Amino acid sequence: MKDGLPPRRCAALAYATILRDRRALEPALEHTPGYRKMSDRDRAFARAILATTFRRLGQTRKVLDHFLAKPLEETTEYAAALLVTGATQLLWMDGPPHAVVSTTVALCQDTTETYGLKGVVNAVLRKVSTEGADLAARTAPRDNLPDWVSRSWRKAYGPGALSRITNVQMQPPPLDITVKDPVERERWAEALGAEILPNGTLRRREIGDITQLPGFREGAWWAQDAAAAIPATLLGVKAGDHVADLCAAPGGKTLQLAALGARVTAVDDNEGRLKRLRDNLSRTGLRAAVAVEDVRRFRPKGPADAVLLDAPCTATGTMRRHPEAGWIKKPGDVQRMSKLQLEMAGAAARMLRPGGWMVICTCSLQPEEGEQLAARLLETRKDLKPVAIQDGEVPGLAEAITPEGWLRLTPALWADRGGMDGFFAARFEKSS
């Protein structure tokens, strides 16, 4: 039993941290006591528990509420974490029920508050193990969205699309890959056992340790969701063009632009995330200037031929890969981020030469951070005009082009192939 304690403890502690501090999953795990000391196998197990917990959080809470005398929210933080992560394993993972229950009960000894709740945790989890499956069958994937997200998406996309999106989000995502040299795409697809998606992204169903896959160490490719790979292709960049990539870290779009032969300046105010960008540049042998600065204050040495702004956002479009994303955001974050996005888009426009193109994008499914943002930008920047995205620029995704000529990607697209992240992109030209 002791063998299963450390990863389950880490998962429970990280779960509590994520909700309390509104922290992303990976950083929360990395800073959880004991996590770095575990074996690779145990770290992977802890990560799997945590990812599944947030992917199925709404359904799991509904099952637990059936057996609890008071709402889960009124339970002590660590006890709630143990109940949720334990129930997740029983309902959605393949672990032996006896081992899950016994190890979770044993973890109650970690604190004085939970020690006295051993009996409650044991009784509830035993009921989940025997009766929980029937209760879970009465829930639906859409239950795994926070209420404010569910209301927003239902209004924006309709109930049918909402169901399709949430169905895709319940499945662990595949590994998406952007190849540095398109000429080598078929070669690397064969070497990696991947399919080639209509936009040129390689998709591999099994992820594993990507650093051990063929071509990684030599820098032949990088991991990048299919949706995230599209905005950079909309700039029409040519070799030698001066391109500003704003909010660039961790660097997937920078690498795409540099691979085209553009003179790229990657701008971001997060030094930690920029380290990953620099590491990726070094690994792939691609070149770009890097500036650690707030986009709103950055001034390039000369007007840019093209500007790409991947603006910070609520990231609700990434819940497929980052299932905690919706749970650590609040409705007020949407308004706060959309204001910041408009400021950054205005700054980006000032960097652009007359006749140059700018693409703004967000990995959000909130209309305030997409369609409404683009409309507000046109209202505030009379020197910008929209440049409609054409069917041929987004192979297999014609249905994602809006009447305005913008691009609205949702996880439901290419659902039979594993879906994609939610993204919005709009393109503009600066007048003289």
Cα four-point dihedral sign 80, 29, 87, 56: positive
C-alpha gyration radius of the chain = 23
For residue 129 the two structure tokens come to: 């193990």
Gap between the Cα atoms of 97 and 89, Å rounded: 8
Helix (H, G, I), strand (E, B) or coil at 64: helix
| Strand ranges for 201-310 from DSSP E | 202-204, 221-223, 242-246, 263-268, 289-292, 304-310
* DSSP states of 66-124: HH-SS-GGGS-HHHHHHHHHHHHHHHHS-S-HHHHHHHHHHHGGGSHHHHTTHHHHHHH
The amino acid present at 262, given as its one-letter code, is A
Helices (H), 264-313: 271-284
Catalytic residue selected from 10, 108, 247, 363: 363
Gap between the Cα atoms of 271 and 275, Å rounded: 6
- Active-site residue flag, 10: no
- In angstroms, the Cα distances linking 367 to 334, 361, 363, 425 are 9, 12, 11, 12
- Whose tokens are 């001034």? That residue is 299
Tell me the backbone φ, ψ of residue 305, rounded to 5 degrees. Answer: -70, -30
- The residues annotated with a catalytic role in the active site are 363
